[in-house]
Amino acid sequence: MRKFYKYLKVGVLSACMAACTQLPGPAQETPAAAHAPVSAMPSASVAHPPRPAAPAAAVLNIDSGLSLIAVTVRRGGLLARLGHDHVVASRHISGTVAPAENRADFQFRLDQLTVDEAELRIAAGLEKQPSADAIEGTRNNMLTKVLDAERYPLVTVHAERGAPGQPLQVAITLHGVTRSMAIPVEIRDAKGMMTVTGSVNLKQSDFGITPFSVMAGALAVQDQMELRFTLVAK
């Protein structure tokens, strides 16, 4: 009987030791694991198809062949009758129009300006055509003595459109000076082609330009210029 109890004790002791060896104790959480939010637990990745790229906003290019900026400058001074009125024009306008962003940016070179094209003088209501020598002299004086085209070769324009029917807000940089103004325009948009027409009076002195004159101002060019334009973009 004693042997039976002896074997029983040994068996129970062995079973307890085996249980202590096989059963894990309470899990020891690391600080990160103990306080990690549920959302931080990894989840199965889900493949999503790539989103299509948003279409780029349409940008129109100004067509130089259809665009024109023409400026009429008129004679002044006591001896004005001895001089001529002139039309100076640019047919080499480059730039872009972004209709969705209601803005336009364009420019032209002063050394590409023309002087007194016959058809433009007629459109401006000017008298007879000056001689070729007179035109060349006017152009040379304009570029060298007035506009300083070698130092300031470009005229740049930035325009923004507000509400329909409102003037364009325009910033013109000429002769190194920028002036902002509101210019009424007419805008036609048809079949992907936009046409903008308008006119405005500018003063040369507003851009730091001294109007050309000779004989102490007895024969001079008036400060005010009459600018009209047609810009076509497509």
Q: In CATH, what number is assigned to the domain containing residue 146?
A: 2.40.128.110
CA–CA distance, 228 with 225 (Å, rounded to integer): 10
Count of structural domains, the chain: 1
* 54 lies in some domain: no
CA–CA distance, 148 with 110 (Å, rounded to integer): 9
* 216 lies in some domain: yes
Sheet with 60-61, edge to edge strand ranges = 60-61, 94-98, 103-109, 154-160, 168-174, 177-183
Tokens 């300083």, located at residue: 148
* 48 lies in some domain: no
| pLDDT by position in tens, the chain (length 234) | 444 344 434 443 343 344 444 444 444 444 444 444 444 444 444 555 666 554 556 899 999 999 999 999 999 989 888 888 999 999 999 999 999 999 999 999 999 999 999 999 999 999 889 999 999 999 999 999 999 999 999 999 999 999 888 999 999 999 999 999 999 999 999 888 999 999 999 999 999 999 999 998 899 999 999 999 999 999
* 129 lies in some domain: yes
* 174 lies in some domain: yes
List the domain range (segments joined by +) for residue 99: 60-233
* 35 lies in some domain: no
CA–CA distance, 101 with 97 (Å, rounded to integer): 9
- Please state, in angstroms and as integers, the Cα–Cα distance from residue 68 to each residue in 18, 63, 99, 105, following that order: 101, 10, 20, 15
* 17 lies in some domain: no
pTM: 0.74
Q: Are 175 and 184 in contact (CB under 8 A)?
A: no
197 - beta bridge partners? 186, 230
Quick one: pLDDT at residue 26? Answer: 47
Among the listed residues 25, 170, 45, the one whose alpha carbon sits nearest the alpha carbon of residue 103: 170
